[in-house]
A = this chain, B = another copy of it.
């Protein structure tokens, strides 16, 4: 038996908003640790890794590990039926469950909605989620600022070069109408901690990425006030949004583009 209750269904809703445009289907791997989803986008270019820890739930019970194979568009539809302040309870049988139940309860308890979502068998492709990598450059900034940067620059071109040097971090783009270059500096003294920008650099780093995927990644901004972007030469970029203090995270990975500079 698997059963978990989350006070804020909107958290789950936002998680789905953060992945559904990129990934069609995935296994929600339930274990004592929590619920984990790892999947690649349709083009197998980028990877998303979601964890909702058991302790982030009001109630969490997982007798045996199980994988709930879900069409994300369907779950998203279901979650859109949750009210503003609804709590959500997820239930599934242990053995060969072919449905999962999602129950929404309004804050006042005067409305209960349940959905049974048909599960599917999904091959859990082996995904090489990079672990314990150290990065040569890390940028922490307000997630809305990151979203704005990507949205602005995407009007100019479809690849972005991120360069971290002692001068700060710069986002560079080139396209038909011209070039753009946006620089930000560390700002560790903003009034609100969530407005702060922290750029840490082991060594100067410059890599190029496909804008399209970074645009997908910014869909997770509503989950978190801040985002952390970690890069190193020739290894996948990580864009990480933490959920609550210890509730979980959404991490995206994206390999850099091979640029002419790399061939020299």
Contact = CB atoms under 8 A, between A and B. Distances in A.
A108 interface: yes
Nearest to A112: B183
A176 B120 CA distance: 12
Nearest to A99: B178
Contacts of A153: 81
Interface in A181-212: 181-185, 187, 197
Interface range for A: 20 to 34
Contacts of A112: 182-183
A126 B31 CA distance: 64
B184 A81 contact: no
Contacts of A44: none
Given A80-B155, A108-B187, A155-B80, A113 B181 contact: yes
Nearest to A174: B116
Contacts of A181: 113-115
A185 B110 contact: yes
A115 B155 contact: no
B81 A152 contact: yes
A186 to B, nearest CB: 8
A117 interface: yes
17 contacts: A71-B177, A74-B177, A74-B178, A78-B177, A78-B180, A81-B152, A81-B153, A110-B184, A110-B197, A111-B184, A112-B183, A113-B152, A113-B181, A113-B182, A113-B183, A114-B182, A115-B181
